[in-house]
Amino acid sequence: MTSTGGSRIRCDLDFERGGRQAGYLRAPLSRNTSGWGTVEIPIVVVKNGSGPTILLTGGVHGDEYEGQIAVSRLGRELDPARVQGRVILIPALNIPAVLNDTRLSPVDDRDMSRCFPGNPRGTFSEMLAHFVDSVLLPLVDVSVDLHTAGHSMESALSTNMHYLPDPAARRRTMDAAAAFGAPFNVVFWGVDEGATLTSSVERRGILSLGTELGGWGRVHVEGVRIGERGIRNVLKHFGVLEGKPDTVQRDGSPGTRHMMVRDQGCYSFAPAGGLFEPRHLAGEDVREGDLAGFLHFVEDVDRAPIEVRYRRSGVLWMASGPGRVQRGDVVAVVMNDYDDALAAG
Ligand SMILES: [Zn+2]
């Protein structure tokens, strides 16, 4: 049993105990049919010897599957005898959203990664965020939070990180990303910051990596492979598991290509609501001015589609997914090769 301070979430596991523990975090959720009901969040802790603490999370967004699969598989397979340090694995952190197969939690209609640092007396997602921030993060040296583009987009298989002004912290994080070994690592400048898990992790000086391993509301075969290999690679990189990270790509190239999404010019937006027909797949090279896609108005018999164009040359990081888009939705994100001088400017 771990003391969880001001949190209303209970934890039967002892984070200081050696060996493997598997169980549940218990979060109170009062419902019409169960006044004292709880929601159980699966968690595995593996600890042995001495070394850093790595937090691996999946399912912050419920409709992003690759991380849920990768983290739960490693949670079943990780042998404590081979671990030096501590690994905390939570494959389905936002379990109401996971079981509902949605980005937002059906309990309070919130995006958990817009609820940090959370509130122990707030909505369910805020309570969960507060637990992660105030109980888990103080234990953690490295956080890998696995995402995909969910239903909203499809992503090139990538890790991602915020641009960190401190060169040493930036280098350390880029090295960890290269060890993860996705085809791309994307350095970006935050969106809607302050309320994300990443921001909470960084505020505490913890090394933070995210991933985008697919999307379009399906399980990406290569995304699962890269995700599973990547979290094992990170454990090796930090000496928690023995061995060298394997970062050879499927096409035989030796490692990760560092990229950046520097400004708003990388984004193309839908100028109206309609049916979007993308012209490229994530990971393809695109050029400024090229057609990103057509916005169709199939309900109007003679109305011509609107052409949406790329505003930057580079590699397509995110391609539109859902078909129907609203005015203002992002339909394409282009990334460029990382350049330290440009990034600092
Ligand atoms: Zn996500």
Tell me the per-residue pLDDT of 168-226, one tens digit each, with 9 for 90 and over: 999 999 999 999 999 999 999 876 678 999 999 999 999 999 999 999 989 999 999 99
pTM for the model stands at: 0.96
| Cα 155 to Cα 148: distance, rounded to the nearest angstrom | 7
Give the residue among 185, 172, 183 at the shortest CA–CA distance from 238: 172
Is residue 94 a contact partner of residue 125, using CB atoms and an 8 Å limit? yes
Dmax over CA atoms of the chain, in Å, equals 70
What are the strands, taking DSSP E only, across 219-286? 257-261, 267-269, 274-278, 285-286
Q: Residue 101's Cα: distance from chain center in Å? A: 16
The pLDDT value given to residue 322: 73
How many angstroms is it from 58 CA to the middle of ligand 1? 9
How many angstroms is it from 97 CA to the middle of ligand 1? 11
Tell me the per-residue pLDDT of 111-146, one tens digit each, with 9 for 90 and over: 999 999 999 999 999 999 999 999 999 999 999 999
How many angstroms is it from 64 CA to the middle of ligand 1? 6
CB-count burial class (<10 Å; 0-12, 13-18, 19+) for 291: middle
How many angstroms is it from 151 CA to the middle of ligand 1? 10
Helix (H) or strand (E) holding 323: none
Pairing label, strands 38-48, 85-90: antiparallel
| Cα 95 to Cα 291: distance, rounded to the nearest angstrom | 39
Residue 1 confidence class, pLDDT cut points 50, 70, 90:
low
How many angstroms is it from 152 CA to the middle of ligand 1? 10
How many angstroms is it from 192 CA to the middle of ligand 1? 13
How many angstroms is it from 300 CA to the middle of ligand 1? 34
Phi, psi of 277 (to 5 degrees): -110, 100
Tell me the per-residue pLDDT of 63-90, one tens digit each, with 9 for 90 and over: 999 999 999 999 999 999 999 999 999 9
How many angstroms is it from 113 CA to the middle of ligand 1? 8
What integer best gives the mean pLDDT of the chain?
A: 95
- Average pLDDT of the residues in 278-294: 96
Give the residue among 268, 113, 282 at the shortest CA–CA distance from 212: 282
Share above pLDDT 90 across residues of the chain, in percent, rounded to a whole number = 90
Phi, psi of 310 (to 5 degrees): -75, 145
How many angstroms is it from 212 CA to the middle of ligand 1? 8
Cβ-based neighbour number of residue 339 at 10 Å: 14
Helix (H, G, I), strand (E, B) or coil at 8: coil
How many angstroms is it from 215 CA to the middle of ligand 1? 9
| Cα 212 to Cα 308: distance, rounded to the nearest angstrom | 24
- Average pLDDT of the residues in 248-270: 94
The amino acid at residue 258 is H
